[in-house]
Amino acid sequence: MSQAKLFRSVTPGKATVLAIGKAFPSQVVPQDCLVEGFIRDTKCEDATIKEKLERLCKTTTVKTRYTVMSREILDQYPELATEGTPSIKQRLEIANLAVVDMAKEASLACINEWGRPVSDITHIVYVSSSEIRLPGGDLYLATQLGLRNDVNRVMLYFLGCYGGVTGLRVAKDIAENNPGSRVLLTTSETTILGFRPPNNARPYDLVGAALFGDGAAAAIIGTDPIPGQESPFMELNHAIQQFLPDTSGVINGCLSEEGIHFTLGRDLPQKIEDNIEEFCKKLMKRADLKDYNELFWAVHPGGPAILKRLESKLKLESAKLDCSRCALMDFGNVSSNTILYVMENMREELKNKKDTGEEWGLALAFGPGITFEGILLRSLLQPEM
């Protein structure tokens, strides 16, 4: 990895991000090609649905995505694109293998950047809303990576878009309460469980088709990094979670014999806008921070409307959410993974700052509940002069 020199001293006992990695399936879907492919694969003949999907693809700001789904899979499992056909068994056959394959690739990239042997990993936190089985993907991943059989494993299932920040919070707690530990956080998601033909009775299906992608991410978390061996770039200073009362139906996911079905309330962006400032102030209070524009921002890009509402509410400068918008443009909304893609973008941005760069920042994500997850971050990087 490129060795970024530390700019700020590490706080003893505080969790730091020591390395990061990502992985994607081989199928690349340019947004310009999505509509024709989706309409063809689902044998949709409704011109109004095609027009709606074309409009949505333009408004999402996504340029490229990656997906496990392919023509070969649909040829083998035509029931995945057939309305009303039980197919959960087939979907899980595909998804259970795919998420571990992607998680392994992302973890290996992360471990390679970290530079220490896999035997030094003491804990694993495994995040996914895309598989269902016992034992879970955490065991298969640990086995395939060659981790010790006494590695401590935690599974976080079906948290949705805030799962990546939850994983960081849990990894932080583990690292800080087990001195010397090194925690592998991995997140892996595929849209296979939710893929189905469009139907005018389910308008949110088109939003999912236009917005979501597949992939995996990984990070190594630990306290008191070893000088000369480890290169921390971000400190996880303080983490909080809260849910908004009486909003459990705004984001709703139900598993059936046909897969997983989501509905999304139109009032989600407004709910986030109405509550985001108070939530941010709770985090900022820990470091006596007052000015939103003195921070860097790593926000899960659930969609362009949420980013726009947050930017407007907090009166952020136009470039503050660039790392989030770039992740959305390059990969789409990849659920729990996306916050780690944003943080990787942020690492490069902070390294390339011409001045000293911001010291403090926030990582934020929102999901079913409505649940807010947030972490007060502290940059440790020396900008390149």
Annotated active-site positions, please?
161
Token pair of 335 as six digits: 């659920």
Q: How far is CA 368 from CA 220, 248, 275, 299, in A?
A: 26, 7, 15, 16
CA distance 332 to 24: 12
CA distance 89 to 152: 29
Token pair of 202 as six digits: 């389910």
Kindly report the backbone phi and psi dihedral angles of residue 371, in degrees, each rounded to the nearest multiple of 5, phi listed first.
-105, 135
The helix (H) or strand (E) run that includes residue 323 is helix 322-331
Whether residue 243 contacts residue 216, with contact meaning beta carbons closer than 8 Å, is answered with no
Q: What is the largest CA-CA distance in the chain?
A: 61
Token pair of 276 as six digits: 């985001």
Angle at 28 between CA 111 and CA 141, to 5 degrees: 30
**Number of Cα atoms under 13 Å in the Cβ half of residue 148:** 13
How many CB atoms neighbour CB 344 within 10 A?
20
The helix (H) or strand (E) run that includes residue 312 is helix 304-313
DSSP strand pairing (152-157 vs 123-128): parallel
